[in-house]
Structure formats: structure tokens, C-alpha cells
Structure 1
Amino acid sequence: MIRELDLLGVFLSPMAALLAAAAIAWLVLRRLLELTGVERRVWHPALFNFAAFVLLLSSLVLLVFGPR
């Protein structure tokens, strides 16, 4: 069963924690891609960044709430 997170009396959805974790991972991944020069070879950088974030978020959701 999915439970809410209690943060100083404020109940948050577990999705909020997953969004924060995905955002941090995305920032690290984006920086690595900029340093290696991959971002210059991408056709549409904004679309690529959005797709990378969605892939990271969906991977985290599957990792945490995946089939058991």
C-alpha cells in the first residue's frame, strides 16, 4: 500500500519525493551530457531534456512501486 510522507505535519504524496529525486538525477545527467558534448549533437535539446526527465522519473517509479 502506498502511504503518504509526513514532513513536519504536512502529508506529501510519494510522487513529490520521486519528482525531487528525478530532478536531482536529471540535473546531474544534464551536466554530464553538457561536459561530454552530447547536447550539441541533439536535434532538439529541450525535447531531449524533457524525455530524459520522463525516463528518469518513470524508472524511479518502477523501481519503487514496480511489480513485486
Structure 2
Amino acid sequence: MPRELAVFGVMLPTLLPLFVASVVLQALLDKLLGYLGVYRAVWHPALVRLSLLTCIFSGLALLLS
């Protein structure tokens, strides 16, 4: 995995764009799961949201390694 990315001449850590992409994907998945009523069947919806974000971010980071 490259340590830094050059975006318009600014050096960014590689994990920063991955984190932003993870947040966007998690927000879309959160809307879908809320629409389907999945959160009514779980004990702690906020914990599920955090776990989804962690899994998405980890998966994207593993794709780069």
C-alpha cells in the first residue's frame, strides 16, 4: 500500500480517502437497512452502524495491501 497519495499537489495519507469512501458507503447501506427495517431486529443499532463502518473500512484497506 502506498503511504501517501498526491491529490492536486497535496500529499494525503492513503487511509484518508479510504475512510471517506467508507463513510459514504456506510451511509448508503445505513439508509437501505433502515428502509428494510433491519434495525428493529437488532439489540443496539448504533453498535451495528459502527461495526458496519469498521468492516467496510477494513475491507477497503485490505484491498490495497
Fold shared per TM-score above 0.5: yes
RMSD: 1.2
Pair 1:21 & 2:21 matched: yes
List runs of 5+ in structure 2 lacking aligned partners.
none
SS of residue in 2 equivalent to 1:2: coil
SS of residue in 2 equivalent to 1:16: helix
| RCO comparison, higher one (Cα < 8 Å, 6+) | 2
| TM-score, scaled to structure 1 | 0.86
| TM-score, scaled to structure 2 | 0.89
User: Which whole-Å CA distance do the structure 1 matches of 2:40 and 2:10 have between them?
Assistant: 42
Identity of aligned residues (%): 38
SS of residue in 1 equivalent to 2:60: helix
Pair 1:48 & 2:48 matched: yes
Give the aligned residue type for 1:63: L
Superimposed CA distance per residue, residues 21-42 of structure 1 (whole angstroms, 9 cap, x where no aligned partner): 1111101100010010001111
List runs of 5+ in structure 1 lacking aligned partners.
none
Structure 1 runs of 4+ with >4 Å offset: none
Counterpart of 2:64? 64
